[in-house]
């Protein structure tokens, strides 16, 4: 998906009582891995992988976290891949605790990433997602992302996604 610019971003919404949005630190690795295991149903996430892929990765600017009562409940990272997407920001590993659904946490943490890209002058923003992540796709659409047709299977796959959402597809 692609957001054609970072102009006119809304403010990051206030967090619900008891929730805090912040930037990740090295000591968040184990809790971040637990969040990613539950978000993506991927048992391969451990502290070492969370550190290498997110918290200490040279291509990741920031990993934003939402915390509640010492638990990490949502995350998204700002990534730069200039060889693949010159001048663009890449929204990377957006995840939320399934038990925290419906609170707008994915929206807030992704918007924090978009503001990070605006602060460094990115011209646009891209992300990759899976077809089955319909709540995430709805959030991305709300944030101004549109499907980016860059593979022969995309038109048919996006048509199916948008049919599931009760919308018509519009490519970026």
- Interval 50-94: pLDDT, tens: 999 999 999 999 999 999 999 999 999 999 999 999 999 999 999
Of the chain, the percentage scoring pLDDT greater than 70 comes to 97
Q: Could you tell me if residue 117 is inside a domain?
A: yes
Does some domain include residue 28? Answer: yes
CA dihedral (169, 98, 16, 60) in degrees, to 10, reads: -70
Q: Look at residue 157 and tell me if it is in a domain.
A: no
What's the confidence (pLDDT) of residue 121?
97
Q: Where does the pLDDT of residue 164 fall: very low under 50, low under 70, confident under 90, or very high at 90 and above?
A: confident
Structural domains of the chain, count: 1
Lowest average pLDDT, out of 33-37, 38-42, 85-89, 130-134, goes to 130-134
Closest among 30, 118, 36 to 75, alpha carbons compared: 36
Q: What is the predicted pLDDT for the residue at 97? A: 96
Task: Residue 32: give its domain's CATH number.
Answer: 3.40.630.30
Q: Is the pLDDT of residue 30 over 90?
A: yes
In angstroms, the CA 54 to CA 29 distance is 9
154 within a domain of the structure (yes/no):
no
**152 part of a folded domain:** no
Give a yes or no: residue 27 inside a domain.
yes
Please give the model's pTM, rounded to 2 decimal places: 0.92
Q: Domain for residue 158, yes or no?
A: no
For residue 164, is it within any domain? no
User: Domain range holding 118?
Assistant: 2-143
């Amino acid at each position: 998906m692609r957001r054609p610019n970072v102009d006119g971003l809304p403010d990051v919404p206030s967090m619900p009582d008891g929730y805090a949005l912040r930037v990740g630190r090295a000591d968040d690795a184990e809790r971040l891995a637990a969040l990613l295991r539950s978000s993506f149903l991927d048992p391969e996430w451990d502290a070492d992988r969370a550190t290498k892929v997110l918290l200490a990765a040279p291509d990741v600017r920031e990993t934003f976290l939402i915390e509640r009562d010492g638990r990490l409940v949502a995350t998204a990272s700002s990534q730069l891949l200039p060889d693949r997407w010159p001048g663009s920001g890449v929204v990377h590993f957006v995840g939320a605790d399934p038990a925290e659904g419906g609170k707008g946490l994915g929206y807030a943490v992704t918007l924090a990433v978009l503001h990070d890209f605006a602060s460094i002058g990115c011209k646009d923003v891209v992300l990759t997602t899976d077809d089955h992540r319909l709540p995430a796709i709805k959030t991305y659409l709300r944030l101004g992302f549109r499907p980016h047709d860059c593979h022969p299977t995309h038109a048919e796959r996006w048509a199916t996604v948008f049919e599931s959402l009760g919308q018509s597809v519009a490519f970026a």
